[in-house]
Amino acid sequence: MPVVVMGWISLVLVIDADGTLSTQRLLGAATWLLLLVVCARETPLVRAAVVVVVVFATLVEYTFSPLLEVYVYRFDNVPAYVPPGHGLVYLAAFAIGRTPWVRAHLRGCVAAAASVGAAWASWGLFGSDRVDVLGAFWFACLLGFLLWGPNRGLYVGAFVVVSYLELLGTALGNWEWQRHDPTGLIPIGNPPSGAAGGYGWFDLAAVLLAPVLLALVARARSRSGRELARN
């Protein structure tokens, strides 16, 4: 499944790089369809986690892109494929984290992700002609998730998927990060080196809130069933 998702993400970004707004909308519809198909094969808990990620990430997208313009898409919008794309990114990261190989070598995978992330963040601070303070902060978040997160394999997967996604999307010109945050105080790379650490907050929300969402749905169904029985 990670191969399918990564392949689809790559195809969407390549097509969108020179596509029209109508093309974006078609890609969005196709991405929603793929997300539904993939989710159908997952457990209710994983599907609930995807819902949390999509809602949380979409709110963040509309806040930080069109509103605050921390990063901007080609048409100054949030492309239609982005909200469902966040769900696919989560599923790909989750699938990588639960593979037998990653589970058997989790300590080494965590060390590798932390080492590569540290090197990238250091380059963003001291080696790049575009200083990347935000990336270093997000790398610190990623390091915390890798060391103490509730699902360390998920964060290993997120590092791989999100880093690839950001490097490809910015290279193709699908979106571009501004040089500074809205205050003008925090320099930002394009992309930020620790972007996976920022995305890790979506993953944390999914892990923590998915069981709550399932419980609420079960309670609503139970209440509905009792009301139907009375009638």
* Chain Cα centroid distance, residue 165: 9
The pLDDT value recorded for residue 218 is: 81
- At 154, is the pLDDT very low, low, confident or very high (cuts 50, 70, 90)? very high
What's the confidence (pLDDT) of residue 149? 87
Residue 68 to residue 75: CA distance in whole angstroms: 15
Helices (H), 18-43: 21-39
Q: How confident is the model at residue 177 (pLDDT cuts 50, 70, 90)?
A: very high
Given a cut of 70, is residue 227 above it in pLDDT? Answer: no
pLDDT in the model for residue 142: 96
Mean pLDDT of the chain, nearest integer: 93
Number of domains in the chain: 1
**Nearest to 95, CA basis, from 137, 62, 49, 33:** 49
Residue-level pLDDT at 230? 67
> Containing domain of residue 212, as a range?
2-230
CA 20/CA 53 separation, integer angstroms = 27
Considering the entire predicted model, what is its pTM? 0.93
Q: How far apart are the C-alpha atoms of 120 and 124, rounded to whole Å?
A: 6
